[in-house]
Amino acid sequence: MASSVERLCFGQKYILAPMVRVGTLPMRLLALDYGAHIVYCEELIDIKMAQCKRVVNDVLETVDFIAPDERVMFRTCRKEKDRVVFQMGTADPDRALAVAKLIENDVAAVDVNMGCPKEYSTKGGMGSALLSDPEKIEAILSTLVNGISKPVTCKIRILQTLEDTVNLVKRIERTGVAAIAVHGRMKEERPRHPVHCDYIQAVAESVSIPVIANGGSLDSVKTFDDIEKFRVATGASSVMLARAAMWNPSIFRQQGALSVETVMDEYIKYAVRYDNNPFNTKYCLCQMLRDRVESPFGKQLHAAQTVAEICEVFGMPEYYSKTTAELEARRSSLQVNSDQPLSPKLEDDIITMAIRFERRDYPPQITPKMYLLEWSRREKLNQPLYETKQRTQDRAFQSTVIVADKKYRSTLWEKSKKSAEQAAAIVCLRTLGLPEGRVGEENSGLVNKRKRDDKQCAALDDKESVVRKRHITEPPLQKEGEMIRMTKVVNGACGQTTH
């Protein structure tokens, strides 16, 4: 195992616990701001992570791990690099090691979930299902400890007897892990059941590595001072908080917790700054509202569908506009200053590029589809034909455009059908070396020479709508285990303006 100059220490620490759908980047950064020493990300399944690509996001200044369907599975940044622990769900030593190697240079430590009793974790033998298979526990942890340079930890629940629990923890210690977190409940018990502090204390006394006590949010930890009281009661080295921190992460604040309203505002700022998924943002905010989620304010939040709408509910539209404008300016600057433009690739019989359509990059009423249509007319070619498909799991779109019997497609999925078609048009235009109408691009005379008044565009739009109603719907196609709906659409003469 390679040595690390500055290894994360788990003694005398207050820690944000791993929580599904809660432990994303905004919550982790907020907990660190308020005084948490270490933060765990939400449990991420090894099979999904093994398919990800590591991408440096220069716009957000983050490192993103992107799934094949373009979803961000894990996002981190420099601010937390030395204090974030990556928790994975796994039941396979080799797969666990592959994921650990993928992310080890961007995190401070790697943790294996061996305590979550929910089906999300236990299916496939992960989570608390591992507690009944100590040989597999030993194989996974030993493989990780010997295979990566960062500290390895695990999080367990207590077993039916104190003796069995202590024996398991001693076996885990022999693998070389840096620490072990113990949730003081059995896998059959729920938060309403009292935490077994005596079990955690017995574990802490039986091993020499740091033991992290977990499970005191409901009964034991109400204030910052209670964190230390819970640590002393359990005899543990450190304390890990889940629900108490989810309800108000400023519980880590030594000067005392802030109002939930103040905390939610600060959370939203991180969510906007780091382009957090709006549904994840809303979920975390609803957890902070707790019993007020059914209030008129809570219902307004529940109705919000975008980050912009969430900011409206909280009276923060100016912050949203200012921050998104700054991010857009950074993105534009990076595009202008890029020395290595994307090159087209041939995949099967389709020419592809990783391109996303950004409406702000084009003047009003000008789109790449319009340029491609006008060029096709000038060259006396058939008008471009767009084939668009939609994924069922997130309703994202991808389009292929056929021009002169050649196919062009962006490998990135878009939120709308119109944007997907525009992205395909951009791939075609850039491959052919043609202008696409971007702001600042030299006037090609392809589109701007044709001045369309509002009535003319409206008439052409009506014509396109009629054509769209005659689209051909094909049977569902099976692709990589997903059902994908395919439609073929013949576009009219007037380009689509995407909002």
Just list the catalytic residues: 116
The Cβ-side half-sphere exposure at 88, using a 13 Å CA radius, reads 27
Q: What are phi and psi of 236, to 5 degrees?
A: -85, 165
Rg (CA), the chain: 27
Handedness of CA 418, 420, 422, 424 (dihedral sign): negative
Locus of tokens 């401070």: 108
CB contact set of 215 (below 8 Å; sequence gap of 6+): 183, 184, 185, 195, 200
Handedness of CA 200, 203, 207, 209 (dihedral sign): negative
CB contact set of 458 (below 8 Å; sequence gap of 6+): none
What residue type is assigned to position 421 of the chain? E
Q: What are phi and psi of 211, to 5 degrees?
A: -110, 130
Q: Is 258 exposed, middle or buried (CB count within 10 Å of its CB: 0-12, 13-18, 19+)?
A: middle
Q: Please state, in angstroms and rounded to a whole number, the distance separating the CA atoms of residues 401 and 480.
A: 22
Q: Is 161 exposed, middle or buried (CB count within 10 Å of its CB: 0-12, 13-18, 19+)?
A: exposed
